[in-house]
Structures are given as structure tokens and as C-alpha cells.
Structure 1
Amino acid sequence: MNDWTVTDGTVTDQTVADGTVADGSGPGQGRYLGSGTVEDGTRSLTGAPPSHLPGRLAITLWDFSWYTRAEPGGPFADLDKACAEAAELGYNAVRICAAPLLLFGGLGLDALAEDLEIEGLGTAPDGRIYGRGTRWYDAPGGYRLNLQERLFELFDAAARHGLVLLLASWEYQQSPVFAASPQWFDAIDAVPPADRYRVLADAWDRMIVALTAAGHRERIAMVELHNEVDFSILPALADGGSGQVKRLRQLHPDLLVTASYGKPPHLAMHTVPEGLGAGQFHVYTYGVLDALQQKIDIRSEGTAGFPNGFLRSLLRPDAPSVADYGRLAAWKYRATVVTDQMFYGYDWIDPRAWDTWLEKSYRTYREVMRREIESRVVAVAAWSRWKNLPAVVGEGWIGYTPLHGTFEEGPAGLELAEHGIRTALENGVWGMVLCSNAAPHHPLWADASWQRTMNTLILEYRAD
């Protein structure tokens, strides 16, 4: 094997196979191979976070569930306990929907925020809840809370356990669907689309001021104007969103302010608009999962003849017809990006049949899925390094699976997650989730050993 010594992209010394050194003449003549042969370092952080924040973030994704799954005995009934468990598992950051429009949007919702009734998706004809087989939507409801008080309780608990918080809004994506009343959704939906980013920025400004007054400013790791702007009821980020990010950054220059993409344009990152204060991108590979979803047509709505024969072969024997399953309240379909076919399919799928198909088919997709994770992580990290911004992978790695499916928690899913985590670390990503499903409201939370191992890897990682 040749031993190259390269300076500024030119070969200055070469030991060839027979042990002679090329000096630019004779059989061992050196060749200029171009600067592309010299790799730039990628292991250092893509951009420096504020000095008061941790050097790396190990993030657990609590989304809106910290207030929609607070039923007695639920995973977030006791916020201090949930924060203590997260810290014990090695996490140092929590990403949430802080509901800025409800709490500080100036939309006439103050009374609702002080006495918010959580219903979930409602009760099906069989007496059980809609969303019972889904992740995130399996909320039984049946309680009321003061959400503003609960926000400050969460910050207090996070402070006691050494956690920082990444704040986002899921309100134009799904948060209001869990309320018993459509008032929250109706109020934000009445905001003209062209004004929605401005209203969000104003709400965030008021929330930041309130959190600062309560002594929690340094606990804010990041503010995202909105979660997954490309999959929400919002205009394109370039159509006013990036300008509002800039304005919020000017109001709070010591904080990281940005917006997140559900599917970053990794093949054309130059199209991401200017003005973001951090790179917060989600990296899902889907692969074999997407192949199954297409076969069963589960993400569409209003498909004639749904469910098709293949989906019927995966359903539980006691699955009702779509008509007998019934429907959520009509306004709830408008308040979420999840379709009626997804709710029916996930509520009645046989998880074992689902997992069996994925496991049998995975080998064909494994290498493609690994490469897709790697290429997406490298792309968003390279963009962040180009912009000199801290980078975060706030969600990942496979995709949306049934609540009791174990594919993502099993050997294949954990292998892909570890590949994503290591790739992110090796490319200077500041913070990352272990998996979107590594949180108190998902079964993966029970795998304490794997979470501790991965969080230790993240927090103790050294670039040198």
C-alpha cells in the first residue's frame, strides 16, 4: 500500500511498492491527485452552541405528550419523576411542544389554557379510545390542566435534574386535536396563512420573556418557530418563516432560534432559506417500512375499497369494518396530519403480522436504509458546517410504526439507530435523539441499558 504525504493537495513524498521514493521522475513518478483527495475534518462541531449549554445534547422527544399523556398513572402524570428517569438514563435534553399559540398567542385562548380539557381522539363505538394502536395518539384523556402552570412546572423539574429544553410548536400539525373542544384549533386556523409565522414569532417572544422572568432563560437550548414546517398547515418557510426566525433572533440574540424540517432537502440543501440560527433536521429512512405502507395504502385518505386485500391479511381477526369502526369528530381530522386510514389501520393491525413482514423483507433494504441515513446526516451536517451553525437531529430514524410493533425497537431498528448516532457524532452534530420512540410514552423507554449506553457515547464523545 502506498504511503502518501500530502501538502496543500500536492504529493510531496511517495513510497511506492518496491520501497523507492518518488521524486517526480522515473518509475516512481509522483502524480498530483487534486485537492479532493485531502479530506477536511468533520468530527468537530459544525458550529458552537452558546457557552452555557452542554457540549453535546442527548435528547428525548416528549413532543406534546408531556401534557396529552398526563392522565392519572400515565407516563407524564408526575413531571418530576419523568425528568428524574430521563436524567438517570443519561439524557440531558428534552424536546417538547411548548404550545406557544395557546399560551402566549394573543388569540383569546387564555381561559382555555388555564382549564384545558384533554380528551384524546375520542371514544370509538366499541367503548375504547380511537388511536389505541398508534404512537403519540393513544391518549385516553379524561382530565383537565392549567397548561401554563404545567409549563413552568416542567422547567422547574428540568432544572432540578440538570436537563435543558428544546422548545417547538406542533400546533399547526396536531397538538390541538387532543383537546375536547375545537376552540384552540379554530383560533389558530382563523389566522390567515400569510400571518401565521408572524403570530408564532410574537407568541415565542412573549413566552421567552415569561420564562426569563421565571429564571429559566439559560434552560432554553433551542426555540423552533414550528416543528416540521414542511409537514404542517403553514406556508413554505421561505414565504415569511425565515424572516420571522431572523426577527426572533434579533429580539433574543443569545438564544438559538430556528425551524425544523421533517424531510430536509438533503440533495439540494442550498434551497434552505437564509436566517436560521441552527440546523434542526429530522432524518427518517423508511425503506422497508415505506414499501409496506405502499402495499397497504395506509397513509392515504378516502381510497375506494379501503382496506385492500393485503392490509386485511395483516389485521387482527376481530377487526371491524371501516364503517363499524366509526370516525373521529370531523374537526379533529382537520386538526391533524394523520389520516383516517392510518387511524383505522394502526388501531387494528396485528403487530406480529406487521413485524413479520418487515423482518422477512428487511434484508433487501438494509444497505439502502443505512446509506440513506448516512447521506442525509452528512448532508445536513455539511450544510450546518457551511453556515457555522450547531446541528441537531431532533427526530429519526425509521419512521411511524404501530404502538406495539417492535421492528424499530428490535435488532434491525437499533442497528440503524446506532448507525445514525455514530454518523451524526462523526460529522459534528451537536445534539440528537436516540430514536424518536425513546421516550416515556413509548415501549422503548423500558430498554434502559441500550439508552444509557448510547447516551454515554453521545455525551462522552471526543472529536480528537
Structure 2
Amino acid sequence: MRRPELNPALDTTPRTDHGAPAHPRLIGGSRLTGTVPAHLPERLTISLWDFSWYTRAGSGDVYADLDAAVADAAALGYNALRICAAPLLLFGDLGLDTHARALEIEGLGAAPGGGFYGRRTRWYDVPGGYTLDLRSHLLALFAACERHGLVVILASWEYQQSPAFAASPAWFDAIDAVPLAERYRVLAAAWDRMIAFLTTKGHRERIALVELHNEIDFSILPALADGGIEQVSWLLSRHPDLLVTASYGKPPHLAMHRVPEGIGAAQFHVYSYGVLDALQKRIDIRSEGSAGFPNAELRALLRPDAPTVADYGRAAEWKYRATVVTDQMIYGYDWIDPDAWDAWLRAHEGPYREVMRREIESRVIAIAEWARAQRIPALVGEGWVGYTPLHGTFEEGPTGRALAEHGIDTALAYGVWGVVLCSNAAPHHPMWEQRAWQRAQNARILAHPV
């Protein structure tokens, strides 16, 4: 049973001259920003499994045994997984049934000299080489979550990344052929069919949230106001007992009124790149087609055995159209020396540390207060620093963990329902080995009064 709402007249929280809480740590027990369906946990501790739960499912890989992976997440205190459920592939009615039943996972493909493109990146480190029935894999995941007491946040990364890991371009070609103005409608119809399917299999109450799409602002989609919000409303009308929304990678924190009203939950992401952004700009690693790439600053950070850009080559052209990463990112992250990368960040983090802390705090507060005004639950499904090489340790180290804890503190203080410990806290990342830290953070999230 949920605790009754507090009488505002009894709120003795210390406040500034402007009426804002003096410090988020002092609030304690703030009521949630919106009502959560009764069948769901009072707090969500989220592990971000994205598309990796099927792109890293080959023999011996981290998601080959879904029951073991889910049991391990439960042992660390997680009660929610956020995944790409591939609704367009599985239920999009786009002629992809054969591919869904025998999805061949390749990753970004074989690289010259052995290995594969993306080998030292996060999320793109997919060796591939296997085939799976994705619908059966989805049911196995839900069955494991039922056994171990977890719920699932359903999202789609299909207009951002997922099809790039397939061996065939058929999945991407089929969804890319959908006219831009029709994509939200096709997504909503696919979700409607997937929800019906999961319901018939007895898993409806495992659904924590349905996101029309992940990070609509960083995907091959129109703005949410251009047809998306109508489809969220349509899907909500079809399933009024579920939370339905779409997520933003970088919500307009300084002008949240630009987010259309009508979404069922505020599932937004909070990244504060700070010193990481300074390094990325210095070495020009996220651009494409830069003259003279790699520049001198990036060359100084590369491994001694790094090939030239020409010798390393590129993945198949269609894979770059199917994802948001560039060939410069793949080359740079595959061949960066992670120790040199970390050393630069730690040597230069000083001037950015407090700015990053304040930015995380202010963005979480903006999301929470907007959600409170809309009377909907708030979640931070991704955060906190940003995209680093697979073996970089800056975000997993003292600075990154301190920023994550501050984000969690702020989220709890302002009534955020669900929070990720860190985007890197999942079985396919090295951070999964920081088990004591994860247990401690999840325990305090779940113990925080609602």
C-alpha cells in the first residue's frame, strides 16, 4: 500500500528565498510526481539492457542464458530492465517475419587484420556470428523476469541503432521505406500488437512502461509534436492501464513547455558531458568527413598498434545509415588508448566537476517538476556522464560514481519514480563487476520513502 500524500501545510523542508528546497538531500520522502499503476513497484531501479540483450546473445556471451542474467540483476537489487523490444521487426507488419524468426546477428562486421568493427566501443562491441528467434527470446526474457520479480520497460531503438547489427539490411530497408510522416503511426500499431501478444502470454503486468521510441530527438523520426503525440494518445486509449510515452535524449531543460502534453510518463535522459565533451571536441571523434582525421590530438592518444584510417577501412555503408555513430567514432574508440583517455579526463576535470554536478541536479529537477505539473510519473532511464570507450574507467571511477550518486539523490528527493544507476551498469559493460556499489545504490533507492 502506498503512503498517503503529505499535507503541504506540514512540509517543514528548509527553503531558499525563492521558495525552492535549500538542498535536495534535505527534502526526503518527496511524493512521486504522478500516480504509478498499482501492479508496479513503488520505486524502479533500472538496468539498461537496450538491444544488447539480443545482440550479445551468442553462445557463451552475457545474454545467452537470459534466466541467469536476470537472476544476477535481481541479486544486485534491480527490479526493472529497459530494453529495445524491436516492435517493428516483430510486430510491424512490414514483411519481416522470416527475419524475426531467424535474425542473423553480425555486429558491424569483420575488420581487416582480424576482429570486428566496434570491438572496443560500448554497445557496438558485437562479435555476432549467430542466429536467434527474437520472438522466442522476448518470451524467454519475460518468463525470466516473472521468475525473478522484475518488470520491463519496453522501448524501440530501431530508428536509431538496432538494425545495424543484423547481417542483412532487410530490417533497416523495411523500416526506412516507411514515409517519415507515417513512422509514429506504424510504431504505435506495432506496439499495440506486441502488447496484445504479451497479454495473451500472461505478461501484461510485467510491462512497466511502453516508449513509442527511444530518444526521438536523436532518431530518424519527426519531432514528437509532428504526429507522435497523437499516436501516444491513441496507444494510451487502447491500453489505459499502462504507461505510454516517448523518450528524449536531451529534453529542453530550459524550456520544458516545448515537450508536448499528453505523454503518460516523463522518461527523459540526463547526461552531463562536461570534461568529456571538451575532450571529444579536442580530438574531433564524433564528426564525420573531417579533413585530416585523425588530428594530432587524437593521434597522441591512440594505441601504438593503431592502423591508419585507410588501412582500417569502414563497415558496410548501409550500417552507418542505420545508426547514429560515425566512422570516425568507430575508428577512434576502437584504437584509443583507454589509459591515455582517462588520464586526460582526470587531469582536466577540475574546472568541470562542479558544473557537471549542478547540471545533473538542475536537469533532474526540471524533468521532475515538469512531470509533477503534468501529474505523471518521472523516470531517468539513462545518464550520467556520456559515451566513453569500452575500457575507459572515468565514469566507473570516483568522479563518475559521485556524479551518479548525486543524480540518484536528486531524483529521489524530487519524487522521480524510476532511476538508472548509470547507463554503463549492465551485464555487457565492465561496470557490472562493481557489484557492491550497485547493491548499495539499489538498496537505498528501494528503501527511500514514497
Q: TM-score range by the shorter chain?
A: over 0.9
SS in 1 for 2:444: helix
Aligned equivalents of 2:61 and 2:424: distance in 1? 16
SS in 2 for 1:280: strand
Q: Which residue of 1 aligns with 2:213?
A: 226
Instruction: Measure how far apart 1:36 and its partner are.
Output: 4.2
Q: Which residue of 2 aligns with 1:111?
A: 98
User: Quick one: which of 376, 380, 396 aligns to 1:409?
Assistant: 396
**Contact 2:261–2:374 (CA under 8 A) maintained in structure 1:** no
The letter of the residue matching 2:421 is L
Is it true that 1:315 corresponds to 2:307 in the alignment?
no
Q: What is the TM-score when the length of structure 1 is the normalising length?
A: 0.92
Q: Which residue of 2 aligns with 1:57?
A: 44
Q: Which residue of 2 aligns with 1:18?
A: none
Is it true that 1:361 corresponds to 2:313 in the alignment?
no
Aligned equivalents of 2:136 and 2:126: distance in 1? 21
Instruction: Measure how far apart 1:34 and its partner are.
Output: 11
Is it true that 1:89 corresponds to 2:76 in the alignment?
yes
Aligned equivalents of 2:444 and 2:312: distance in 1? 45
Is it true that 1:159 corresponds to 2:157 in the alignment?
no
Q: Which residue of 2 aligns with 1:237?
A: 224
Deviations 1:434-456 (A, max 9, x none): 00000000000001000000000
**Contact 2:217–2:223 (CA under 8 A) maintained in structure 1:** yes
Q: Which residue of 1 aligns with 2:357?
A: 370
Is it true that 1:200 corresponds to 2:187 in the alignment?
yes
**Contact 2:103–2:131 (CA under 8 A) maintained in structure 1:** yes
1:245-260 alignment to 2 at 5 Å?
245-260=232-247
1:180-219 alignment to 2 at 5 Å?
180-219=167-206
Larger fraction in strand: 1
Q: Which residue of 2 aligns with 1:264?
A: 251
The letter of the residue matching 1:138 is D
Is it true that 1:391 corresponds to 2:378 in the alignment?
yes
Q: Which residue of 1 aligns with 2:267?
A: 280
Instruction: Measure how far apart 1:39 and its partner are.
Output: 5.5
**Contact 2:224–2:260 (CA under 8 A) maintained in structure 1:** yes
Deviations 1:75-123 (A, max 9, x none): 1010000000000000000000000000000000001100010000100
Q: Which residue of 1 aligns with 2:3?
A: none
SS in 1 for 2:153: strand
Aligned equivalents of 2:393 and 2:162: distance in 1? 26
User: Quick one: which of 125, 128, 139 aligns to 1:141?
Assistant: 128
Deviations 1:373-425 (A, max 9, x none): 00000000000000010000000000000000000000010000000001100
**Contact 2:275–2:345 (CA under 8 A) maintained in structure 1:** yes
Alpha-carbon spacing, 1:174–1:327, altered in 2? closer, same or farther (3 Å): same
Q: Which residue of 2 aligns with 1:48?
A: 35
Aligned equivalents of 2:157 and 2:398: distance in 1? 31
The letter of the residue matching 1:226 is H
SS in 1 for 2:54: helix
Q: Which residue of 1 aligns with 2:442?
A: 455
Structure 1, 211-220 or 41-50: larger mean CA deviation: 41-50
SS in 2 for 1:260: coil
Instruction: Measure how far apart 1:73 and its partner are.
Output: 1.1
Is it true that 1:125 corresponds to 2:101 in the alignment?
no
Aligned equivalents of 2:161 and 2:113: distance in 1? 24
Alpha-carbon spacing, 1:444–1:34, altered in 2? closer, same or farther (3 Å): closer
Q: CA RMSD in A?
A: 1.5
Aligned equivalents of 2:300 and 2:142: distance in 1? 47
**Contact 2:303–2:335 (CA under 8 A) maintained in structure 1:** yes
Q: Which residue of 2 aligns with 1:171?
A: 158
SS in 2 for 1:221: strand
SS in 1 for 2:269: strand
Aligned equivalents of 2:106 and 2:16: distance in 1? 63
The letter of the residue matching 1:368 is V
Instruction: Measure how far apart 1:37 and its partner are.
Output: 3.8
Figure out how many residues of one structure are paired with residues of the other and give that number: 433
Deviations 1:216-249 (A, max 9, x none): 0000000000000000000011100011000000
Aligned equivalents of 2:373 and 2:87: distance in 1? 31
Is it true that 1:346 corresponds to 2:333 in the alignment?
yes
Alpha-carbon spacing, 1:176–1:34, altered in 2? closer, same or farther (3 Å): closer
Aligned equivalents of 1:270 and 1:296: distance in 2? 35
Unaligned runs of 5+ in 1: 1-6, 9-32
Aligned equivalents of 1:301 and 1:358: distance in 2? 23
1:410-425 alignment to 2 at 5 Å?
410-425=397-412
Aligned equivalents of 2:332 and 2:34: distance in 1? 42
Deviations 1:277-324 (A, max 9, x none): 000000000000000000000010000100000000000011111000
Instruction: Measure how far apart 1:274 and its partner are.
Output: 1.5
Q: What percent of counterpart residues are identical? A: 72
Aligned equivalents of 1:446 and 1:325: distance in 2? 31
SS in 2 for 1:318: coil
**Contact 2:101–2:132 (CA under 8 A) maintained in structure 1:** yes
Unaligned runs of 5+ in 2: 1-7, 10-14
SS in 2 for 1:246: helix
SS in 2 for 1:263: coil
The letter of the residue matching 1:77 is A
Instruction: Measure how far apart 1:275 and its partner are.
Output: 1.3
Q: What is the TM-score when the length of structure 2 is the normalising length?
A: 0.95
